[in-house]
A and B are shown apart, each in its own frame.
Chain A
Amino acid sequence: QVHLVESGGDVVYPGGSLRLSCAASRFTFSGHGVHWVRQAPGKGLEWVAFTRFDGKSGDYSDSVRGRFSISRDTSANTVTLHMNSLRAEDTAVYYCARGRGYSFRGGFDYWGRGTLVTVST
């Protein structure tokens, strides 16, 4: 069974930084895109970022572009979301999700349980 585990969520001050990790197991990591999707308390789902199967390209939502970056370590089977200049509106549960295919298309067939990021004074 495919397994994704997020870690790194915490309480951080506005303007601070945080690094979220997604550890993947039991599937060929290099064969799938990996995405981050967030959900603010009581709200809907918002796509945040993705890295292509080979890590050579990716993209971000406008709300995080320039502040967040995504990287993957294929040898360690991990994807990391580097979050800088955090704002109160970044407060959410962050999910790591596996893309069904190599690129951004196909939907997300496996999700982690999520990690909570709270940006507050």
Chain B
Amino acid sequence: DIQMTQSPSSLSASVGDRVTITCQASQDISNYLSWYQQKPGKAPELLIYDASTLETGVPSRFSGSGSGTDFSLAISSLQPEDIATYFCQQYENLPLTFGGGTKVETK
């Protein structure tokens, strides 16, 4: 199975800060990676697919990059509504696997 390692597991930042979350795959997954945002008590929502393609309707302050084994999700200017947990997920091969999640909080 492909292991997905996300870091950090949590972070605290101020509104307006740039935030970066990383995800490392245990083997080459090309660009077969998506990022999700999950707010408490809600279902996850797709932010980015194919490592860097923004899902329709997602604010442009979100961006994704990387290929192979190393990926990142950036929020250019953190907004109060971005407080959530973020997950990466690979779909290069079955079983599909998720990273452990990054909880983003405000200072």
A44 touches B87 (CB 8 A): yes
Q: Classify chain A: how many residues form its interface, as a range.
A: 20 to 34
Of all chain A residues, which has the CB nearest B34?
A107
| Cβ B89 vs Cβ A104 within 8 A | no
B66 at the interface (CB under 8 A from A): no
Q: Mark B77-98, 1 if CB is under 8 A from A, else 0.
A: 0000000000101011011111
Neighbour of B43 across the interface among A44, A59, A61, A111, CB < 8 A: A111
CA–CA, A50 and B49, complex, Å? 18
Give CA–CA (A86, B89) in the complex, Å. Answer: 26
Known A-B contacts A45-B44, A111-B43, A111-B45; A104 and B87 likewise in contact (beta carbons under 8 Å): no
Q: Is the CB of B95 within 8 A of A107?
A: no
How many A-B pairs have beta carbons closer than 8 Å: the answer is 59
Chain B residues 27 to 83 lying within 8 A of chain A, measured CB to CB, are 32, 34, 36, 38, 42-46, 49-50, 55
A82 CA to B32 CA, complexed, in Å: 29
Cβ distance B10 to chain A, nearest Cβ, rounded Å: 13
Residues of B within 8 A of A (CB): 1, 32, 34, 36, 38, 42-46, 49-50, 55, 87, 89, 91-92, 94-101
